[in-house]
A and B are shown apart, each in its own frame.
Chain A
Amino acid sequence: MEKVLAQRDVFGETLVELAHQDPRIVCLDGDLSTSTRADLMFEAYPERFLQMGIAEQNMFGVAAGIATMGFIPFISTFAVFAAKRALDQIRIVIAQPGLNVKFIGAYSGILTGKTGKTHQAMEDLTVFRAMPNVVSIAPIDGVEVRAAMRAMVAYNGPVYLRLTRDPMPIIMAENYEFKIGKAIVLREGHDISLIGTGEQTQRCLEAAKLLAEEGVQAYVLHVPTLKPLDNEAIVKAASATGLVVTAEDHSILGGLGGAVAEVLGEEYPVRMKRVGVKDTFGESAPNGPLLEKYGLTPRHIVEAAHTLLNYRKS
């Protein structure tokens, strides 16, 4: 059996580990810790777990203040609320002064446990990519969540960590070293490049397997840090094959697809396709039907690859 882990569980466990090593770490919760798994921090260090209630704007403001007192606040909330409910607070008192606040976007993307369009975060990466000073990270699996959190604490400044809800296989090796701003090649290939972020890179790897069955060798690049973006690795991926498919559990407007298009448009124009949520809101449903309806399965990545390969042929 392959090992599966939910990113949120790893988040909760790692927060406790880090808090154990570093007394500056505190957790601010927007009444969602039983979902985000910051409740593990509550159990381990109840006095360093500050319940802020259902009041996100205030919570981000409090985080800014406590950061100036030398603490490292980790904020526990959903991606939708981090990216939108408290956005002006993040911009004014966290991003502009560059304060050392770490905020997670739990339940990101479309797979939010059947909560539907109000809770599906499709534009958080777009928002934070456009926000100066905010590092944005979307890990592929639990191992990368743990590694990224260590890097977040070592780094002094605002960081957004985009997390998913449900268990997924582990892809990265235990000793994997995460570096903020570094993309990583997961598969070599010369026919087409698949560039993914977050958990969606796992579906790129699935797609690469399907393509290999047809004799198409895909190059797979995982881009965990959306900001700062690894332009060099993206250009290298494009030049390796001359065709690029991007994949993200996020809107195709302004997220990874947008970022890659910006880089390649200026530095290395090649034909590309963006696989992700189109310009639409979602709905509540189980994961399988959602991935299918909103075009996020490995098959959709394969189809995008076929379109590009056909274009090359013609």
Chain B
Amino acid sequence: MIGSAFPGNSDLTEIARNVRINIIRSVHHAKGGHLGGPFSAVELLVSLYFHELRIDPQNPSWEERDRFILSKGHSAIGLYAVMAERGFFPKEELMTFDAIDSRLQGHPDMTKTPGIDMSSGSLGQGLSAGIGIALGARMLGKDCRTYVMIGDGEAQEGQIWEAAFIASRYKLDNLVAILDNNKVQQFGWQYPMPLPPIDHPAQKFEAFGWNVIEINGHDFKEILDAFAAAKKVKGKPTIIIANTIKGKGISFAEGKYQWHARVPNDEELAQALVELEKAG
């Protein structure tokens, strides 16, 4: 459970619940999109948008804002649900997800959605773009910070490790990567036994010269503490390895690769909503 000592935790919990409800409703309505990956990232995204990021929903292209890149772009509906909750666009617009002419595309599109700092959807590319933003901010003398969320399956892409090298070579302490370590990809290794997408991510990033913080990615206090700790580290980029559960909050989807991109039927939606309403 979330520690009550931290101010605002109960609000964040409530927001996270609404976000999950809106994600599954939107996916059900659109008959498309992903479920497992958005659900594992909810507490991380809520913490970013309601606590950590210096942003102004009324002025999404504010020059001094912190930047966020959802490199695991297939979880776009999770990001949209959080951004709607934060006031970037009306919540009703979530029902246009994946419809023709919508501002809410299947994968984040910086040309369409206010507040999206980088387009994504082809895995492995967001961290590099984040490095570019962080380097640019440093060269301009701006104090804004850049956050990039990657998936553990996504971390199989070579480009992630090319980026990992460059970020530490340029000592980008204004860059924070967040690994949504939900231990499940789309299909992955199932034979002769199931294997997680990536082994020992902490050791790997440490070896590449990163400051590594490992947390429970569903615990708001741990998430916010990690962001605070990252700010104190100088001379290295930080990665927060957030241990999460794919499909978190829906009993029949948790930890199952089959729910990576499955659209719930009416009964499944109803059951999920009951569980989400009950959750603390």
Residues of A in contact with B (beta carbons under 8 Å apart): 29, 31-35, 39, 42, 46-47, 49, 51, 53-55, 57-58, 80-81, 85, 113-119, 283-286, 289-290, 293
Specify which chain A residues have a CB less than 8 angstroms from the CB of B73 in the assembled complex: 118
Size bin of chain B's contact surface: 35 or more
Specify which chain B residues have a CB less than 8 angstroms from the CB of A57 in the assembled complex: 158
Contact call B32/A114, Cβ cutoff below 8 A: yes
Tell me which of A46, A118, A290 contacts B100 (CB under 8 A).
A290
Specify which chain A residues have a CB less than 8 angstroms from the CB of B191 in the assembled complex: 42, 46-47, 49
Contact call A283/B153, Cβ cutoff below 8 A: no
Specify which chain B residues have a CB less than 8 angstroms from the CB of A85 in the assembled complex: 122
Contact call A81/B122, Cβ cutoff below 8 A: yes
A143 and B192 CA atoms in complex are apart in Å by 33
A49 and B192 CA atoms in complex are apart in Å by 11
If A42-B191, A117-B109 are given as contacts, then 10 extra A-B residue pairs at C-beta distance below 8 Å, sorted by A number, are A31-B186, A39-B187, A53-B156, A80-B122, A115-B107, A116-B98, A118-B73, A118-B122, A284-B106, A286-B31
Q: Which residue of A lies closest to B185 (CB)?
A: A31
Q: How far is the CB of B266 from chain A (nearest CB, A)?
A: 19
Contact call B154/A54, Cβ cutoff below 8 A: yes
Q: How far is the CB of A107 from chain B (nearest CB, A)?
A: 12
Tell me which of B100, B119, B187 contacts A283 (CB under 8 A).
B100
Contact with A along B167-194 (1 / 0, CB 8 A): 0000000000000000001111111100
Residue B124 interfacial (CB < 8 Å)? yes
Contact call B123/A54, Cβ cutoff below 8 A: yes
A49 and B123 CA atoms in complex are apart in Å by 22
Tell me which of A35, A39, A117 contacts B105 (CB under 8 A).
A117
A277 and B101 CA atoms in complex are apart in Å by 16
Residue B247 interfacial (CB < 8 Å)? no
Specify which chain B residues have a CB less than 8 angstroms from the CB of A118 in the assembled complex: 73, 106-107, 119-122
Q: Using A31-B185, A118-B73 as known contacts, say yes or no to A54 and B156 having CB atoms under 8 A apart.
A: yes
Contact with A along B92-128 (1 / 0, CB 8 A): 0000001111100111010000000001111110000
Contact call A119/B157, Cβ cutoff below 8 A: no
Specify which chain A residues have a CB less than 8 angstroms from the CB of B192 in the assembled complex: 46
A53 and B124 CA atoms in complex are apart in Å by 12
Specify which chain A residues have a CB less than 8 angstroms from the CB of B32 in the assembled complex: 113-115, 284
A42 and B31 CA atoms in complex are apart in Å by 27
Contact call B109/A53, Cβ cutoff below 8 A: no
Contact call A54/B185, Cβ cutoff below 8 A: yes
Q: Which residue of A lies closest to B73 (CB)?
A: A118
Contact call B99/A285, Cβ cutoff below 8 A: yes
Tell me which of A47, A51, A289 contacts B189 (CB under 8 A).
A51
Q: Which residue of B lies closest to A29 (CB)?
A: B187
Specify which chain B residues have a CB less than 8 angstroms from the CB of A115 in the assembled complex: 32, 74, 106-107, 121
Specify which chain A residues have a CB less than 8 angstroms from the CB of B98 in the assembled complex: 114, 116, 284-286
Offer 9 A-B interface pairs, CB within 8 angstroms, sorted by A: A29-B187, A31-B188, A35-B186, A42-B187, A46-B192, A55-B156, A81-B122, A116-B98, A289-B99
